[in-house]
Amino acid sequence: MATSLLLATTLGLHYSKVLPKDFGSPSSQLVYAARNGDFTAVRRCFLDHDLDDLDLDSALDAAAAYAHADIVEFLVRFGATDLDSALLSAAARDHVQIVAYLISKDRRSPATKTREAQTLASNMGAYNCDWLLTLHRWRLYRER
């Protein structure tokens, strides 16, 4: 229990957002679909509800935490902006593909909390993400 609490505190996750309780709201439906990797349900949320009614950042965080790369990319393209929270969620769970996508320079505004993500990955034993983020930070340092 203490480990779960520490992980939630470290990641800054709000369990009420990532694990929705009210499945009737549009945002909760989107987060639930993103968490479960149900791309069809994610698209249905966009078709059935106004974009203003959907919490894209919480859905992005949930999709990144559970390594659903196609949903992560979809949500970023549709306007999810909290890439740093998603980066921390993916790095803690060693989801290298998600981390690489979020820090990519191809993105107009890539995730910037690479130091925190690298430290978190190292502390969680997510060694693949630790190495990826260390290399990324080293490249940024050498470009200066």
Predicted local confidence at residue 68, as pLDDT: 98
Element (H, E) at 87: helix 83-92
Per-residue pLDDT averaged across 51-56, rounded? 94
User: Does the model's pTM come out above 0.75?
Assistant: yes
Nearest to 75 by CA among 107, 113, 123, 105: 107
Which residue range is the domain that position 102 belongs to?
16-143
Minimal CA–CA distance to 25: which of 59, 65, 73? Answer: 59
Q: What is the CATH number of the domain that holds 83?
A: 1.25.40.20
Which tokens belong to 98?
């998600």
**What is the per-residue pLDDT across 67-89, written as a single tens digit (0 to 9) for each?**
999 999 999 999 999 999 999 99
How many domains is the chain built from? 1
For 58, the 3-state DSSP assignment is helix
In a domain, 2, yes or no: no
**Sorting pLDDT into bands at 50, 70 and 90, what band is 28?**
very high
